[in-house]
Structure 1
Amino acid sequence: MTTTCPTPIRERAQKSLPVPALVVMACTGFIVIMTETLPAGLLPQLAAGLDISEGGAGQLVSAYAIGTVLAAIPAITLTRGTRRKPLLLVGLLGFLVANTVTAVSPSFAVVLAARFVGGAFSGLLWGMLAGYARRIAAPEHAGRALAIAMTGTPVALAIGTPLGSWLGSVVGWRWSFAAMSLLSVIVMIFAKFLVPDAPGQSAQTHAPLTRVLRLPGVATILAVVFIWMLAHNLLYTYIAPYLHQMHLALRPDIALLVFGVAALGGIWITGVFIDRVLRMLTLASVAMFIVAGAFLAAAQQSTVLALLGIVLWGLAFGGSATQLQTAMGKAAGENADAANAMLTTFFNLAIFAGGAAGAVVVNGVGAPILPAAMIALALMALVTVGFGRRAAFPAGS
């Protein structure tokens, strides 16, 4: 594949946003997140269908995350020069295969392997989607384009995963994964006709990963990614024991629905302001995590306080990926795809760390302490963003 397009992408970029193409990218993100989180809502059905324990079924989530962590950086490094549209179609094809194998296989080992492959294609797509979305929009709308392309994540968390879990409980878990395969085919068709192509990175601008890591601001942004997402995943992963041990009259599925809807509001706010005040927007989002943690820490037997905390938490989280990927794109320049692959890796490492550390906390001192940990980590992230005023989150951006 060549690294050039018939017409330079910037010449084709219009003042108005390429909304249909960005919606297709949002649907791609929806597929990625749905595929990742679906087993969490289907553990009893998966355990019964594959003749394993629920703990064993939970490893289907871990296998996906491991695939993402191991594949993101190598996949993006190997495909830097590849044109973006064929790469997008290959990534969607990977999800079609992984979900289809999951839907039809009677063997836990084969399903586990399919989940690992799905995670690997997740690393590929997350590593290239952010740069692709920014590349097909006019420069002055790049941040807003990324915000639209990232809406698939909160929609999947708020609506997709609960819907997939309900479908699996009604007609069987295999049909949930079959539905994801069908959705992959539909999105591939729309991507073929609605998404413009874009060139890969010119070979002359390829920098070794060690040099990309040393670019001003990149290491700082990665530190913020890990600390901030660890603050999020500590509580998000263990929201059910938190609600139970705080004696709150709030079901986990309702809490996650409120969180997801609030996250949609957060990504809308981010889309409005990100091209003008990236630094202030990021500082405000991290600070809101601290306020949300305070409400959640004080919510003992108070459903109202808990809901306020969850709403603020969702608003703060909704635009976080867009803010961090935009900052990374600005800091890394031509090497944004490689840098975003690092971002994806650190994001998934935070998911791992949140699950492991949260288990220790929940089984030790108890889930009610999780909001305090969330506050402490968010404070660290806020300070790190503050010190990144020169390159990572520059003043005036």
Structure 2
Amino acid sequence: MPTASLAKGTAVRARLPLSGLLALSTAAFTAVMTELLPAGLLPRMAPALGVPESRVGFLVTGYAIASFLAAIPLTALLRGLPRRRVLLGTLVGFACCNAVTALSSSYPLTFTARLAAGVMGGTMWAMLAGYAARMVPVERRGRAIAIVLAGITLALSLGVPAGTVVADAVGWRPAFAGLAALALLLVVWVRARVPGFPGEPRGARRPLGRVAALPGLAAVLSVTLLLLLGHQVMYTYVAPFAEHAGVGRTGLVLMVFGVATVAGIWTVGALIDAHLRRTLLCALALIGAALLALGLYADRPAVLLISVALWGAAFGGAPTLIQTALVDASGPADADVATSLQTTVYNAGIAGGSLTGGLVLDGAGAGALPWTALPLVAAALTVVALGRRRGFPALRSPDDVHS
């Protein structure tokens, strides 16, 4: 009887705090929607703000730059505060910034609100994975992070297209007002279902340089950079590549990619805790195989769509795998600082990949894009394959990772 009670208690302790994790996932969804929604609303926002569409596009650029610049310094500044208080503050900030965007007819005011929203985003991204890791036992860490980061995938594959449809039906201002309302509802949800954790005492805080020097962290950050560089070379210019391949329906290609990412994040959630390294190796190899097929046979529509589906499925789960490896290397106590480094590297990969792809497109044409991306993804695969001892251990157990 005591043994049965002990087993029952262990099962209860191992159960995922699903409501709290879904609240964090919805926070990630809200941040991505706030960042990217203007990209789908350029023709509608431009007349209301009295600027050309290109200037509305800068609202996305400004958000990304503010997020890039704020992640590390703000995370370091706020790491002593209670974690839930910081999270609630970012949600209130998102609500205010989206409300201002919904009401403003002034481009400078809207741009300022977007910069402030980017600061909120940089702060939030640095803490979500670490927060999820603290909420569960180490053996459930990967699945918890997968649930939280699924909010990103859902925003990209479903949220932004749905937001654009809503804006077509009722206007772009109600779309941003809805995001503001969602952020306020999240404040209530987080207060009710997400546990509070203390900040780091001043004497116990590991300096930024020592966090960056933790074993395995450099390998994980390198894989992040290489993968994002390779991915963005292709993804940013998928429209001209589809035209080059003779498939004029870019929307169909993006829909296939988006649906596949949902399947990828679900698959990774089932495998990550037991087989993180193996699953990441398979994901990177699958992306490489898809790029090879795109380079060789893109002129065949069936091959193009199948390759894009494989690319989307593999990439959909890859960020979760890399993020979990990062938290394993840093430990939950230093995860916020480590993730702020990764946020900066992630944005650098997006910017660098987009720039590289643009140069290749202008110089060699769309057909050269897969051959530019493939060596970068192959390099990421090599780092993981060689990182058995640091960054990407073969086994993940409480003894193998920081707890």
* TM-score (norm: length of structure 1): 0.93
> Is the 8 Å Cα contact of residues 29 and 151 (structure 2) preserved in structure 1?
yes
Read off the aligned partner of 1:214 and give its amino acid letter: A
CA shift for structure 1 position 94 = 1.1
Distance 1:291 1:98 in 2: 42
Q: Conserved in 2, the CA contact under 8 Å of 1:47 and 1:57? A: yes
**Partner AA of 1:161 in structure 2:** V
Letter in 2 for 1:32: A
Query: Over residues 27-57 of structure 1, what are the superposed CA-to-partner deviations in whole Å (9 max), with x where a residue is unaligned?
Result: 1110111111111111222222222222222
Distance 1:386 1:98, change over 3 A: same
- Structure 2 distance, partners of 1:344, 1:328, is 11
Q: Shift of residue 343 of structure 1?
A: 0.4
Question: Which residue is 1:6 aligned to?
Answer: none
CA distance in 2, matches of 1:272, 1:205: 35
Over the matched positions of the two proteins, sequence identity in percent amounts to 40
Structure 1 equivalent of residue 54 of structure 2:
55
Q: Which of residues 315, 325, 328 is equivalent to 1:327?
A: 325
Paired residues of 2:245 and 2:301 also in contact (CA < 8 A):
no
User: Rg larger in 1 or in 2?
Assistant: 2
- How is 1:139-288 mapped onto 2 (pairs within 5 angstroms)? 139-249=138-248, 251-288=249-286
Contact in 1 for aligned 2:260/2:312 (Cα 8 Å): yes
Q: Is the 8 A contact 1:162 1:253 kept in 2?
A: no
Per the alignment, residue 289 of structure 1 pairs with: 287
Q: Return the alpha-carbon distance in structure 1 between the equivalents of residues 109 and 353 of structure 2.
A: 27
Paired AA for residue 275 in structure 1? D
Deviates more, 1:161-170 or 1:61-70: 161-170
Check whether the contact 1:159–1:257 (CA below 8 A) recurs between aligned residues.
no
Larger mean CA deviation between 152-161 and 287-296 belongs to: 287-296
For 2:229 and 2:178, how far apart are their aligned partners in 1? 31
- Inter-partner Cα distance in structure 2 for 1:252 and 1:28: 29
Alpha-carbon shift at residue 26 of structure 1 (Å): 0.8
Name the amino acid aligned to 1:111.
T
Give the 5 Å matches for 1:104-123.
104-123=103-122
> Amino acid of the residue matched to residue 296 of structure 1?
L
Q: Which structure 2 residue ranges, 5 or more long, are not aligned?
A: 1-9, 397-403
CA distance, structure 2, for counterparts of residue 17 and residue 303 of structure 1: 42
Q: In the TM superposition, what is the alpha-carbon distance from 1:92 to its structure 2 partner?
A: 0.8
**Hey, which bits of structure 1, 4+ residues long, moved more than 6 A?**
none
Aligned residue type for 1:385: V
CA contact (8 A) 1:293 1:374 kept: yes
Q: How far does residue 270 in structure 1 lie from its aligned partner after superposition? A: 1.4
**Contact 1:262-1:315 within 8 A present in 2 as well:** yes
SS in 1 for 2:364: coil
Instruction: Measure, in 1, the Cα distance between the counterparts of 2:87 and 2:252.
Output: 34
Bigger mean CA offset, 290-299 vs 153-162: 290-299
Instruction: State the alpha-carbon separation in 1 of the partners of residues 284 and 81 from structure 2.
Output: 35
Whether the aligned pair in 1 keeps the contact of 2:211 and 2:334 (CA below 8 Å) is yes
CA distance in 1 between counterparts of 2:227 and 2:197 reads: 31
In the alignment, the residues of structure 2 paired with residue 177 and residue 252 of structure 1 have an alpha-carbon distance, to the nearest angstrom, of 26
Give the structure 2 partner of residue 384 of structure 1.
Answer: 383
Q: Any conservation in 2 of the 1:234–1:370 contact (CA below 8 Å)?
A: yes
Contact 1:84–1:200 under 8 Å retained in 2: yes
Cα shift at 1:79: 1.7
2:348 alignment counterpart: 349
In the TM superposition, what is the alpha-carbon distance from 1:209 to its structure 2 partner? 1.0
State the Cα distance separating 1:202 from its structure 2 match: 4.0
CA contact (8 A) 1:136 1:198 kept: no
**Quick one: which amino acid aligns to residue 213 of structure 1?**
A
Shift of 1:281: 1.3
Question: Which secondary structure state, in structure 2, belongs to the residue aligned with residue 364 of structure 1?
Answer: helix
What is the CA–CA distance in structure 2 between the aligned matches of 1:84 and 1:257, rounded to whole Å? 36
Aligned to 1:298: 296
Distance 1:302 1:46 in 2: 38
TM-fit CA distance, 1:232: 1.1
* Shift in CA distance, 136/261, structure 1 to aligned 2, threshold 3 Å: same
Worse-superposed segment, 147-156 or 77-86: 77-86
Is the 8 Å Cα contact of residues 248 and 300 (structure 1) preserved in structure 2?
A: no
With over 3 angstroms needed to count, the CA separation of the structure-2 counterparts of 1:160 and 1:299, relative to structure 1, is farther
Structure 1 residue 243 displacement after superposition? 1.3
1:18 paired with 2:17, answer yes
Distance 1:201 1:265, change over 3 A: farther
Gaps of 5+ in 1: 1-10
Moved more, 315-324 or 16-25: 315-324
Matched residue pairs, number? 385
Question: 1:313-342: CA deviations, max 9, x gaps?
Answer: 111111122111111111112312101110
Q: SS state of the match for residue 197, structure 1? A: coil
Amino acid paired to 1:339: A
